[in-house]
Amino acid sequence: MPNLKEVRTRIESVNSTKQITSAMKMVAASKLRRAQNAIVTMRPYAAKLRELMQDLTKSLEQSAEGKYAVVRPAEKILIIPVTSNRGLCGAFNTNVIRATTKLISEQYARQNAQGNVSLYCIGKKGDDFFKSRKYKLYGSNIHVFDQLDFTAVVPVAQQLMDAFENAEFDQIVFVYNQFKNAGTQVLIHEQFLPIEMSVEEETTQSEVDYIFEPGKEQILNELIPKSLKIQVYKVLLDSFASEHGARMIAMHQATDNATELIKELKLSYNKARQAAITKEILEIVGGANALNA
């Protein structure tokens, strides 16, 4: 039978843990509401801007901004895993890391064997993991989530765009958790550059006829870079909202587990106390019988 003091100490310890996980759940829920509002508001705008950018891809052939639509043989690859800076969010980071390593070992195995696969890690957890395992890193950014807004994302997006323009990489791919709802995140890998078009978009391309005002060149020079930066911002907003959703669920489950463990420990404590009381009664009765004898 467990010692009463040990059980009581463990109950206090689990109860303290429960209070922490419950507080973290409420904080994550509060942050999730703001992050969810941000991505839900941004998503239609980003989707429409992406659609316009893809529709105008053929118009870029003679434009200075056609550099972002150039399709080269996929020899030099840059993969961007987007993780969080903190843990306690379930399998959020593990899933991104696992998907990234799988992408490297399977889809880009040949390029990796030639040393042509690099990583640009956004988020501390991914950066720590890939650094410790000696993956080839092009760069990292662990501060963009400190205050996530468009101005903080622009330098990251511009660095990636410049790397593609200068032919440092032939293909740039994001691996991240796309926010669906508070309890669901969809892990996807998405090509950032070169600008790609779906089969449906390619078949309807000839039907799209835009009137440019004030001028085609001026609009394209402004629209394409801005659209690409917005796409990066959307990816990070998706990941940010997904992180808080994953953390809220993880802390909710941890709180429930702590509640169940406290019930079990209290039952064990009551049984141990009852056994101690019964033992004392038996000793008293035994002593009384001995005196009477």
Q: What's the pLDDT at 203?
A: 45
Higher pLDDT, 177 or 219: 177
Per-residue tokens: 275: 């056994």
Q: Using DSSP bridges, classify how beta strands 77-81 and 117-122 pair: parallel, antiparallel or unpaired.
A: parallel
Residue range 2-14: mean pLDDT, rounded: 84
Residue 146: DSSP 8-state: T
Does residue 63 carry a pLDDT above 60?
no
Query: Which tens digit of pLDDT belongs to each residue from 252-269?
Result: 999 999 999 999 998 988
Q: What's the pLDDT at 111?
A: 93
Q: What's the pLDDT at 195?
A: 83
CA pair distance 20, 255, nearest whole angstrom: 9
- Map out the domains of the chain as residue ranges: 21-251
Query: Which tens digit of pLDDT belongs to each residue from 271-287?
Result: 888 887 888 888 787 77
Of the options 3.40.50.1820, 3.40.50.300, 3.40.1380.10, 3.40.50.720, the CATH number for the domain spanning 21-251: 3.40.1380.10
CA pair distance 245, 8, nearest whole angstrom: 34
Least confident of 57-66, 182-191, 211-220: 57-66
Quickly tell me which residue has 């950014």 as its tokens.
141
Higher pLDDT, 40 or 206: 40
Higher pLDDT, 76 or 200: 76
Higher pLDDT, 136 or 59: 136
Q: What's the pLDDT at 201?
A: 45
- The reported pTM is 0.83
Share of the chain above pLDDT 70, in %: 89
**Angle between helical axes of 124-132 and 92-102 (0-180°, round to 10):** 50
Share of the chain above pLDDT 90, in %: 52
Q: What's the pLDDT at 22?
A: 92
Alpha helices in the chain (DSSP H): 4-55, 92-102, 109-113, 124-132, 150-165, 199-204, 216-292
Q: What's the pLDDT at 5?
A: 82
Residue range 176-189: mean pLDDT, rounded: 89
Query: Which tens digit of pLDDT belongs to each residue from 205-235?
Result: 445 666 767 766 777 777 888 889 999 999 9
Mean pLDDT of the chain: 86
The beta-carbon contacts of 7-10 under 8 Å, at least 24 apart in sequence, are 7/265, 7/268, 7/269, 7/272, 8/269, 10/265
Q: Name the 3-class secondary structure at 181.
A: strand
**Angle between helical axes of 92-102 and 216-292 (0-180°, round to 10):** 130
CA pair distance 256, 84, nearest whole angstrom: 24
The neighbour count for residue 186, using CB atoms within 10 Å, is: 11
